[in-house]
Amino acid sequence: MLGRFISPGHYAELLGSGRQSGSRMLECDPGLLAGRYNRQPFPFTHRLAGNTDFALPRLFELCRRMDPRQIQYRIGEIPGDAHFDSTFERYREGLSLADALDRFEERRAYVVIYNPELDPEYQTVIEGVLAEIAAYTEPFDPVMTWYSTYIFLSTRDAVTPYHMDREMNFLFQVRGTKRVQLWDPADQDVMTDQQKDLLLSHVGERPTFKESFEAKAQTFDLQAGMGVHHPFIAPHRVYTGSEVSVTLAVTYRTHGSDIWTDAHKFNAKLRGIGWRPRPVGSNPTLDRWKSATMGLTRRARSVLWSAPPEPT
């Protein structure tokens, strides 16, 4: 699995350093945070644009020294309704990683660095940003349990097709411009309860885009120094502007999102035997009970069959 679990001790350290951070990198509007966090997207500002760790030559060096399995690349300009999960294989067109880095703009490349925090030179800055997110979000959504980050390097007009991820995100625009469109994950037209149960259970394809969604998009035009928060499983689509773009995504899970994830998995199992379960989010006590039951099932399975527990 990508990313890294966060132990209680690690979370306490993150909170401590995020609260004390003298050189604050992230600025969230308190009203937007309190009113919209994890329900609706909201913009924020940051100071990563001037950080030399995110200059293109340093990021190319990082790509060259990281495990090649941590780097994905393709040509940038693809249809906005392309199938998200297969874009890297489908739109590579003979491009090699060396080509993509050496002739980045000429080849109109799009490169994703998975988990730059694994690199010792990047771990400090990435965990510094994560610590500030932890400090901001703790009053509303305490205890981070997992995180994973990505750096997106894209040439002009690159597209990230419509899709949704199984966690929350703070997306930082570091260089260039991006148009980020997000959809309300609670909108039943956009994703039904059944689709969400299956998405979190990794069953079948992710829900796809329909033309009728277009008018419902919330659009954020990001410049360097701006960012946007993605609520849990909020569908999104991203267009790069007319110049080279660098973007950092800090994705994470919390106790709260782990409960939702388990409750969706529980519901998917009930659907498998023909039941119509109460939607996740409609009864928090019931969601916690479903999550506890899934946890017991995982522990029982690992004891009885000595199998590794199912990932949460």
Stretch that binds Fe ion, among 58-66, 133-141, 159-167, 216-224 (CB under 5 A): 159-167
The minimum distance between CB 233 and Fe ion, in angstroms, equals 10
The minimum distance between CB 80 and Fe ion, in angstroms, equals 14
Strands (E), 28-79: 42-46, 71-75
**Partners of 148 in beta bridges:** 251
Stretch that binds Fe ion, among 77-85, 162-170, 211-219, 263-271 (CB under 5 A): 162-170
The minimum distance between CB 288 and Fe ion, in angstroms, equals 27
Residues contacting Fe ion: total by CB under 5 A:
1
Site membership for Fe ion, residue 167 (CB under 5 A): no
Q: How far is Cα 244 from Cα 247, in angstroms, rounded to an integer? A: 10
Stretch that binds Fe ion, among 71-79, 103-111, 143-151, 163-171 (CB under 5 A): 163-171
Identify residues 215-274 at the interface with Fe ion (CB under 5 A): none
Q: Which is nearer to Fe ion, 141 or 165 (CB)?
A: 165
| Cβ neighbours of 222 (radius 10 Å) | 22
Residue that the structure tokens 């502007």 belong to: 241
The answer for residues whose C-beta is within 8 angstroms of residue 57's C-beta and 6 or more apart is: none
List the Cα angle 12/13/15 in 5-degree steps: 65
Q: How far is Cα 160 from Cα 178, in angstroms, rounded to an integer? A: 11
Q: Which is nearer to Fe ion, 82 or 286 (CB)?
A: 82
What tokens does 42 get? 């909201």
Q: Which is nearer to Fe ion, 132 or 165 (CB)?
A: 165
The minimum distance between CB 170 and Fe ion, in angstroms, equals 12
The minimum distance between CB 161 and Fe ion, in angstroms, equals 10
What tokens does 301 get? 């399975």
SS (H, E, C) 53-93: HHCHHHHHHHHHHCCHHHEEEEECCCCCCCCHHHHHHHCCC
Stretch that binds Fe ion, among 27-35, 160-168, 182-190, 207-215 (CB under 5 A): 160-168
3-state secondary structure at position 118: helix
Q: Which is nearer to Fe ion, 237 or 290 (CB)?
A: 237
3-state secondary structure at position 197: helix
Instruction: Assess contact for 143 and 11: CB atoms under 8 A.
Output: yes
The minimum distance between CB 165 and Fe ion, in angstroms, equals 5
Q: Which residue is nearest to Fe ion (CB)?
A: 165
The minimum distance between CB 163 and Fe ion, in angstroms, equals 6
The answer for residues whose C-beta is within 8 angstroms of residue 189's C-beta and 6 or more apart is: 212, 213, 216
Q: How far is Cα 34 from Cα 254, in angstroms, rounded to an integer? A: 17
Among 165, 184, 193, 258, binds Fe ion (CB under 5 A): 165
Q: Which is nearer to Fe ion, 164 or 294 (CB)?
A: 164
The minimum distance between CB 118 and Fe ion, in angstroms, equals 19
Q: Which is nearer to Fe ion, 107 or 237 (CB)?
A: 237
What tokens does 1 get? 């699995």
Q: Which is nearer to Fe ion, 171 or 268 (CB)?
A: 171
Residues interacting with Fe ion, by CB under 5 A? 165
